[in-house]
Amino acid sequence: MNGKLIIFSAPSGAGKTTIVKHLLQSGLPLEFSISACSRKPRTGEINGRDYYFLSEEEFRQKIQNNEFIEWEEVYAGNYYGTLRSEIERIWAKGKHVLFDIDVKGGVNLKKLFPDKTLSIFVEPPSVEELERRLIGRSTDDAETIRKRVDKAVYELGFADQFDVVIVNDILTEAQEKAIKIVSDFIVQ
């Protein structure tokens, strides 16, 4: 099996997690890359399913040990990264690896495996709609939402460094498009 990497990146609130979950339920031979992170779990999140939740100290230790293929301080004081062992674990099961990582991480990972990787940028129809979605999701306080919206404006400038851009306006259309693009890529 020729194991591949499929990366979804987007400004927070664009709908990337929703689209990734849909793909994971589509029956395609994909498995989610569980990242390590140093933030606290949100209500309902489970260690080893949503993330490997580490202390900042544990995270730094793994950086020292060269255990990450990429990592970023995505928000001040909050580290996120992809463990090398995660990719090996998924390829060993005969599946392709599906990533939900930040925009800079997506660009860097594509550079590491250019031929095996499809990088997809999920774009919101507008920054105003992105802010409405973050408010509607009810997972972040007003200050966090303000920071995420500010960062989104910067991150939207990275779209042209991805292989494909999916504008997530009508969710069902964006999901269908994602399935078609990923299916075509993994049979290549």
Binding site residues, ligand 5GP, CB under 6 A: 12, 35, 39, 70, 72, 74, 80-82, 100-102, 105
Which of ligand ADP, ligand 5GP, none does residue 18 bind to, with CB < 5 to 8 Å depending on kind?
Answer: ligand ADP
Q: 92 with 66: CB under 8 angstroms? A: no
Which of ligand 5GP, ligand ADP, none does residue 133 bind to, with CB < 5 to 8 Å depending on kind?
Answer: ligand ADP
Residues 6+ apart with CB under 8 A from 62: 36, 54, 68, 81, 83
Which span sits near ligand ADP by CB under 6 A: 16-24, 50-58, 74-82, 102-110?
16-24
Using CB under 6 A as the binding rule, whether residue 110 contacts ligand ADP is answered as no
In a 3-state reduction of DSSP, which class is residue 64?
helix
Which of ligand 5GP, ligand ADP, none does residue 118 bind to, with CB < 5 to 8 Å depending on kind?
Answer: none
What residue type is assigned to position 131 of the chain? E
Give the closest residue to 178 by CA, choosing from 105, 127, 123, 134: 123
- Residues near ligand ADP, by CB under 6 A: 10, 12-18, 133, 136-137, 168, 171
